[in-house]
């Protein structure tokens, strides 16, 4: 299938979109990226995928899917090699349970980060830095409205932000329990699965991993709390695990594929 027939509609900084990008890359599938503007995107994504209006949305030929888990399952059915799910049985059930758990954690990662970015960060640059110049200009102009919408939509209040911090730390504990604090181990079995991609991608923004949209950049100072959180999480076995998944299963594989 030519790459023009497979398009991922996304926000560049969305960690759910990063999960979808990783899934496509792990399958070795060519695709195009289409960056949508927050707000107006809802009409387009609802029309394409008949979903809630969120991103990512993958259009794969005549199929359109509007949820990162649905995208994962579609890719596994349609492009089974390399597999990201074990054969039916206990290991497959465990991968799906962990995927569901870490998918939910992604909501708390987002809320906790927004709790500080909305008050102490450059919202326009953070959200629209990867867009074309006209979109960057428009995004910065609309930043005050966007902040208000995000705060309301994601219930960004001090109480909820603190609840999300607790959930994030519990997720780090879960990784360390599943891997026995060994960063070289996968969550299930001896190879990369959907569970690993989900956990690493959705926790990735808090680790500011190089080569991702969340890496710290000199031109975009981040709130002190976010920098401190990244430093603390990187020291943990779970943080080292996520960094290793990116180094060995995301960046290295992508570089090898590009060289080939």
Q: pLDDT tens for residues 143-177?
A: 898 899 999 999 999 999 999 999 999 999 999 99
Mean pLDDT for the chain?
91
C-alpha distance from residue 20 to each of 9, 23, 24, 70, 159 (Å) = 10, 5, 6, 10, 30
Confidence of residue 49 (pLDDT cuts 50, 70, 90): low
Residue 254 to residue 260: CA distance in whole angstroms = 10
Question: For position 46, what pLDDT does the model report?
Answer: 66
Q: What is the pLDDT of residues 221-259, one digit of tens each?
A: 999 999 999 999 999 999 999 999 999 999 877 766 656
- Statement: residue 190 has pLDDT above 80: yes
The sign one gets for the Cα dihedral 107, 185, 25, 257 is positive
The domain ranges of the chain are 3-78, 90-107+158-259
Other C-beta atoms closer than 10 Å to the C-beta of 224 total: 10
Residue 20 to residue 244: CA distance in whole angstroms = 19
Name the 3-class secondary structure at 210.
coil
Question: For position 53, what pLDDT does the model report?
Answer: 66
Confidence of residue 78 (pLDDT cuts 50, 70, 90): very high
What is the token pair recorded at 221?
């100072």
- Statement: residue 200 has pLDDT above 50: yes
Instruction: Please tell me the class of the 3-78 domain.
Output: alpha beta
Question: For position 50, what pLDDT does the model report?
Answer: 62
Residue 10 to residue 25: CA distance in whole angstroms = 15
Residue showing tokens 């998944």? 245
Q: What is the pLDDT of residues 86-125, one digit of tens each?
A: 999 999 999 999 999 999 999 999 999 999 999 887 888 8
**Is the link from the previous residue into 82 a cis peptide, with omega within 30 of 0?**
yes
H-state helical runs in the chain: 15-26, 41-49, 68-78, 90-120, 123-128, 133-141, 143-153, 158-179, 194-203, 224-235, 237-244, 252-259
- Statement: residue 2 has pLDDT above 70: no
Beta-carbon contacts of residue 87 (< 8 Å; ≥ 6 apart): none
Question: For position 122, what pLDDT does the model report?
Answer: 84
* The total number of residues written for the chain in this structure: 260
- Statement: residue 39 has pLDDT above 80: no
* pTM recorded for the entire structure: 0.93
pLDDT greater at residue 54 or residue 116: 116
- Statement: residue 139 has pLDDT above 90: no
């Amino acid at each position: 299938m030519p790459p023009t027939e497979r398009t991922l509609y996304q926000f560049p900084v969305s960690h759910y979109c990063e999960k979808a990008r990783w899934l496509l890359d792990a399958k070795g599938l060519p695709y195009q990226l289409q960056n949508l503007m927050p707000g107006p995107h809802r009409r387009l994504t609802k029309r394409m995928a008949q979903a809630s209006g969120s991103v990512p949305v993958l259009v794969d030929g005549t199929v359109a899917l509007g949820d990162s888990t649905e995208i994962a399952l579609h890719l596994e059915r349609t492009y089974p090699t390399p597999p990201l799910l074990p054969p039916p049985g206990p290991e497959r059930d465990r991968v799906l349970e962990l995927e569901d758990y870490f998918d939910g954690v992604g909501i708390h990662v987002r809320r906790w980060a927004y709790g500080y970015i909305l008050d102490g960060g450059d919202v326009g640059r953070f959200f629209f830095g990867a867009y074309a110049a006209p979109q960057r200009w428009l995004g910065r102009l609309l930043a005050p409205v966007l902040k208000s919408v995000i705060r309301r939509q994601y219930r960004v209040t001090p109480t909820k932000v603190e609840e999300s911090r607790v959930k994030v730390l519990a997720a780090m504990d879960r990784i360390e329990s599943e891997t026995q604090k060994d960063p070289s181990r996968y969550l299930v079995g001896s190879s990369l699965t959907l569970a690993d991609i989900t956990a690493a991608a959705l926790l990735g923004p808090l680790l500011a991993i190089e080569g991702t949209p969340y890496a710290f950049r000199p031109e975009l100072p981040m709130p002190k709390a976010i920098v401190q959180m990244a430093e603390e999480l990187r020291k943990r076995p779970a943080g080292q695990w996520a960094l290793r998944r990116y180094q060995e299963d995301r960046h290295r594989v992508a570089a090898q594929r590009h060289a080939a």
